[in-house]
Amino acid sequence: MRDEHRDANRRNWDERARVHARSEYYDLDGFAKDTRRTWLHPIEPLELGDVTGKSLCHLQCHLGVETLSWARLGAARVVGLDFSPDAVASARSLADRCGLADRARFVEADVHDAVDALEGESPFDVVYVSLGAICWIPSITRWAGIARALLRPGGVLYVREMHPMLNAVYEREGQLVVTEPYFERTEPLRSDDGETYTEGRPKLENATSYEWSYGLGEIVTALLDVGMTIELLHEHRDAECQPLASMVEGPAGRWRLPPETADRLPLTFSLRARRGL
């Protein structure tokens, strides 16, 4: 990643973090007050399994709501890492407000520096990656190696992400049209839209950002190439945000395509992979 890409993305995500921390979408006050609330899709605890007593690292953790959710589900120690100082500050504050600061730590570092930044914390039982993370990585092979290096032997990587096909599709006049790359490319896609996904879709002043695309097969292959064993790979019809105008809101604020197009496009995927002993 060139410095210009990293710097633009950091400015973009610092501003996003400030907007998101005040949003009803994340509702940090409500999350802090309700000790039973988690910011996880119901499928995630089922697919990852019981985390009681385990250590967990959340890469690109943003505001830390998912990180702290795993602590609420019993993880003995959770560590979130993000390159945005504004996001990390919000996550640390949220951990204090939730009464979880003794089991949760948030580290400000680029994900590419995670192995060094977390040297005193790793290895982990679980490395977790949530929605909207992989598209900011310029090399999926390098990312896979970082995830593996943070795991203890026998440890598990669990990913729940936006589906690469969804990232390649736009909606025009009610039709789903492939307009963006699906497969990996060296150069990133530049966006100057500056719109974020919380209520009202506010526009950011730091609008420019850079993203990279990866096919699902390329993600799987990158993990196999670093010696991980794929245990689970599922594609899903719902997401927590509304990237396409025709999507309709369902239970618990999750979005789906309308029934007549629901089977045409996967919206998210989940993957579990294990490091060998």
* C-alpha torsion 69→74→77→81, nearest 10: -20
> Is residue 94 classed as helix, strand or coil in its secondary structure?
helix
Please give the average per-residue pLDDT across 237-262, as a whole number. 89
* Span of 53-57, 58-62, 158-162, 243-247 with lowest mean pLDDT: 243-247
Q: Which residue has the higher pLDDT, 78 or 251?
A: 78
Residue 175's pLDDT is: 86
From residue 104, give the alpha-carbon distance in Å to each of 3, 113, 151. 30, 20, 18
β-sheet bridge partners, residue 175: 172
Compute CA 152 distance to the chain's CA centroid, rounded to the nearest angstrom.
21
User: Which pLDDT score is estimated for 171?
Assistant: 87
Instruction: Tell me the whole-structure pTM to 2 decimals.
Output: 0.95
| Tens-place pLDDT, residues 30-56 | 999 999 999 999 999 999 999 999 999
Average pLDDT of span 247-264: 89
Closest to 162 in 3D by CA, of 277, 92, 60, 57: 60
Q: How far apart are CA 15 and CA 86, in angstroms?
A: 8
pLDDT on residue 1? 62
User: Burial of 101 by CB count in 10 Å (0-12 exposed, 13-18 middle, 19+ buried)?
Assistant: middle
